[in-house]
Amino acid sequence: MTDDLAMDRPTDALHRLRRVHEDTVLAALRTEGPLSRGRLTERTGLSRTTLFAIIADLIERGVVAEVLPEDDLPRGRGRPAGRITLAPGSGMLIGLDLGRRRIRLAVANVAHEIVATAVDDLPADADEDEQLDCAIALIHKVCEERGISLRALEAIGVGLVGFVDGPARRERAAGRLGAEFGARVEADNNARLAALAEKTWGAARSVDDVVYVRWSVGVGGGFIAGGRLLRGAHGTAGELGHVSIDPGGEPCHCGSRGCLEGLIGSPALLTALAADGVILDGLDALIEAARDREPAVTRRVSEAGALLGRALAGTIVQLDPRRVVVGGEFASLGGLVLDPIRAAVAGLALPGTPRSLDLVPADLGATASALGAIALVLNEDPAIPRHLRP
């Protein structure tokens, strides 16, 4: 009996090791999407022989699939180079961005394929419960119109405006959406989720140390360090809009004074332009006037860009990112905002120290936070051991 048990132990240990290796491969595919075998080897640290054996077994079991290039043409000798992906039919994921004015929705499968997106306006002054009601209605509407079965829904990610510094807001979202759809729900700040989306699929995909800023009605941001999204001890990491630029300035809803958001957010710019005699009806009109290069508008926007650059310079000195990504509606103005930001950063963020720093516009546009909410639930999958998550 003792001898039999001794003989079984190495077999059990090998099975456990194999399972750990499988979890490592699945975690990489879940968070990054389809990957080549070469990239999977780099990402997991497994030997080529071990990785190929695991992939073959997972394909046979229907857990993963191999996707060939669209042209399906041989590249050199042998078969086309394919990418490994999670089996698309194994689950659906929903990302929601509950913004100040609109709800944005993205629906994806676990293979990172976006199968539907939608946007809907929110009623003026809607509270969070009303926003959740609108979100539930939008999900049902889109899934019915697109023939998407909610029976395969695994999880919902939610982006919320402002501080997500305690359990109450997350629990409210999780309670309402979880009760309606019977799915796991994760929530975080929506600007921080946009940073996660840019890291996962967008302008920051190739780097691990990133500062993201979203400039829109308000100003928010997110920090990626060593490939991981930073939340901070109190869930407020990335709140660039609440850096105090003028301690003697106007009070801010955060409790401070002279915050960046109160100086360069679209309401502040619209008020300043009204004082200049330029009356514009909201953010969209402001962006359009800036594209048309109306002099008073371009001056105000350029000055605001320089102010944002000053605030970013301090963050860059402290975090030493490889890339700064600028998102939000103002980023669509290109050089009008990016050039003064770059100039301020170059002059203030350790100008005498050699560094390689890119400052680029975001790739993912208005759906970034909804996509980031999907990335959140991919990263927070409880089936993946935390020490194996990227």
Domains and CATH numbers, the chain: 14-86 (1.10.10.10), 90-193+370-388 (3.30.420.40), 204-362 (3.30.420.40)
Q: 112-120 long-range contacts, Cβ below 8 Å, gap at least 24?
A: 112/32, 112/33, 112/34, 112/85, 112/201, 113/88, 114/371, 115/146, 115/148, 116/142, 116/143, 116/146, 116/148, 117/367, 117/370, 118/142, 119/366
What is the C-alpha separation between 100 and 160, in angstroms, rounded? 9
Strands 358-361 and 228-229: unpaired
* pTM higher than the cut 0.85: no
* Candidate ranges 80-84, 176-180, 351-355; pick with highest mean pLDDT: 176-180
Residue 325 phi/psi, 5-degree rounding, is -115, 125
Instruction: Give the model confidence (pLDDT) of 202-250 as tens digits.
Output: 999 989 999 999 999 999 999 999 999 999 988 889 999 999 999 999 9
Task: Reply yes or no on whether the pLDDT at 330 is more than 60.
Answer: yes
